[in-house]
Homo-oligomer: A and B are copies of this chain.
């Protein structure tokens, strides 16, 4: 039996409805924050991702040659494609540009809990602005989205890549060692970092100071001991975030993020309920456009791991109730089948979700199916009632039923779907 490829998933109707529900919350929140959706292809030239993340990324990519011998890769993330889109199509638009995206990404790695080879990311970027307000806007949007999903417990940690970089530069760490050291610090792999720093000749005392920075965690007051502009900058970011109504943020200068292209503020959101793999969102300010052939343009963005957020919501006990079918249409006898199709068509035309027996089933069996698919109502069309243009309307939950005029089915069902009725134009 052919299965879906390893690390990928099939989404069945109930799960898909739940996913669309949460996706729409993110979409609405993004739009309320002034972001507009873009979409890029599922695959790109592999070069794009190498330019962003370095050649090691190739080990994790689904990369292949197309029939024209071009090196192609399924996208492992959507920041690089978004900035490529900007460079190609939007570089002359008024700045700042605020975009968001949602879709599949691909990483060839060992599948594990909450991590898949095909996974879903939601993200947003502000392109063409480099101010504390810009960073605050991005963090506010990310947090508003997570709150919009009703996740109860989460932690927002905001740092500044400049603080550590400055300290490392002052300590004599050469440019080519910088990324390696930062990656160790990002993972809190202090012993390994100590070995590298010691090897370069950084003193024990300075190493201690470096480690201290990565352990700087708390309210705005911890920024007092930060030298240089970064402290002042983060203080402004925090003030704007607070003004925007976000009270969940804390300073954490240990937030380093793995990649070279970050330029200043970096942040992460964690859901403690997820345990070890608790990061659900990450972002920061960066420049990428010049790597793709454009002018250098400052941006700030974030990406949210959709699958992990959904897992966190599940672990917190959130459930999603599927929307039931409004009505299942049942002919009481075979000569009513055409009549049943007519009524079904009329109900659908006014936006009622209606299904109809198509298998020529006897009434009892059709009613059993209506119950199995969880229909709210059944409408039974019998010859006798049809003569007076009536039907039998049955509430599947209570079992109550009554004879109603065909034109009154809708009103009798009292069908208000979420307080908002679907009409032809929706």
User: Do A239 and B94 form a contact, CB below 8 Å, given A32-B352, A37-B16, A420-B420?
Assistant: no
Complex CA–CA separation, A360 to B131 (angstroms)? 8
Tell me if A373 is interfacial: C-beta within 8 Å of chain B.
yes
Interface residues on A, range: 35 or more
Residues of B within 8 A of A338 (CB): 239-240, 243
Which residue, of A34, A70, A104, A133, has the highest number of chain B Cβ atoms within 10 A?
A34
Question: Nearest chain-B residue to A349 (Cβ)?
Answer: B245
Question: Nearest chain-B residue to A104 (Cβ)?
Answer: B42
Complex CA–CA separation, A369 to B70 (angstroms)? 41
Complex CA–CA separation, A98 to B353 (angstroms)? 13
Interface of chain A, main secondary structure: mixed
Residues from 199 to 213 in A contacting B, C-beta threshold 8 Å: none
Interface string of A1-30 (1 = CB under 8 A from B): 111111011111100110110001100100
Tell me if A48 is interfacial: C-beta within 8 Å of chain B.
yes
Question: Nearest chain-B residue to A339 (Cβ)?
Answer: B243
Complex CA–CA separation, A246 to B24 (angstroms)? 32
Tell me if A316 is interfacial: C-beta within 8 Å of chain B.
no
Residues from 354 to 399 in A contacting B, C-beta threshold 8 Å: 354-360, 369, 372-373
Residues of B within 8 A of A296 (CB): none
Question: Which of A80-88, A216-224, A274-282, A406-414 sits within the interface?
Answer: A80-88
Closest CB in chain B relative to A273 CB, distance in Å: 22
